[in-house]
Amino acid sequence: MMTPIGVFDSGYGGLTILQQLRHRLPTRDFIYLGDNARAPYGSRSFDVVYEFTREAVMKLFSMGCRLVILGCNTASAKALRTIQQNDLTQPCSNILAHDSEGVDAGQDKAESLEKQGYRVLGVIRPTVEVVGSLTKTRHVGIVATEGTIRSRSYSLEISKLNPDIKVTGQACPLWAAIVEAGEAESEGADYFVSKRIHQLLSKDPQIDTIILGCTHYPLLMNALRKAVPPGIHIVPQGEYVAAALEDYLNRHADMARACSEGGTVTYYTTESPGRFKECAAMFLNEDIEVTKIKL
Ligand code: DGL
């Protein structure tokens, strides 16, 4: 049976994570799900981001995934903990009530999903773990969605591991929407990227490392390179998330065995497959098949 690793994002951003996962784990099967119909998530409330993310995770479980990576910082900041602590630990029948396709219908429904071996991981922790080795000045900037910045997830997590690092956050409303609109290489993108980078650096001119705390942002790399002064590192997180997943599979032999190895990737979107294909082609160098699904 195919048990791909699920990768979820509000839209196209998680593709930047998927690329790195495939690079690092080329034999694994993956399912990518972009909730493009409801993207961006960045300025949505905690409750809404949690609800949308939970629906996507349950859909991916019902499609055969045992392990789902939230390839989205906003979802990782606002929904991961509740999903891990509540949804995965409740008796499965409660969760199945929301999903007519069900999760592994043959299994004992009284058992929690966690006991049945289902897991969800996020992108913030793996990124935070490397921050200490990237900065020399110990002044780090985080650019992310309003939701991620407001959650303070990055500053809280970084201060636990590296209390000496000063973290300055900058919310970047519109950046994800610019990517979703296919306008990453435009004057508009240059304008909004430079505006927010300028705001960030005026808050703390000693920043030497800027973490892209939104998976959409690597798609704005050209605009970022123009806006960020030389000598400041721009750090996308995909590579670190991929290394953390590889390490996780090395440490969890049951999960490593459960995730199938056919080297396939299947793409799903909640919006138009034609549009997904077109936009995804801008950064994936391959022709892909995309299927529309409802959450
Ligand atoms: N790519 C997402 C993130 O990492 C979400 C962007 C959005 O939907 O606003 O935060």
Which residues of the chain are modeled with pLDDT < 50? 94-102, 105-106
Q: Is 127 in the pocket of ligand 1 (CB under 6 A)?
A: no
pTM of the model: 0.92
Residues constituting the chain = 295
What's residue 266's pLDDT? 97
Name the pairing type of β-strands 233-235 and 209-212.
parallel
Residue nearest to atom 8 of ligand 1 (CA): 40
Closest ligand 1 atom to Cα of 213: 4
Q: How far apart are the first and last CA of the chain?
A: 23
What's residue 102's pLDDT? 44
Cis peptide before 4 (omega within 30 of 0): no
Q: Report the number of secondary-structure helices (H) and strands (E) in the chain.
A: 14, 10
The verdict on whether 279 is a catalytic residue reads no
Element (H, E) at 211: strand 209-212
Q: Is 176 in the pocket of ligand 1 (CB under 6 A)?
A: yes
Q: Which residue has the tokens 């809404």?
A: 48
What's residue 282's pLDDT? 74
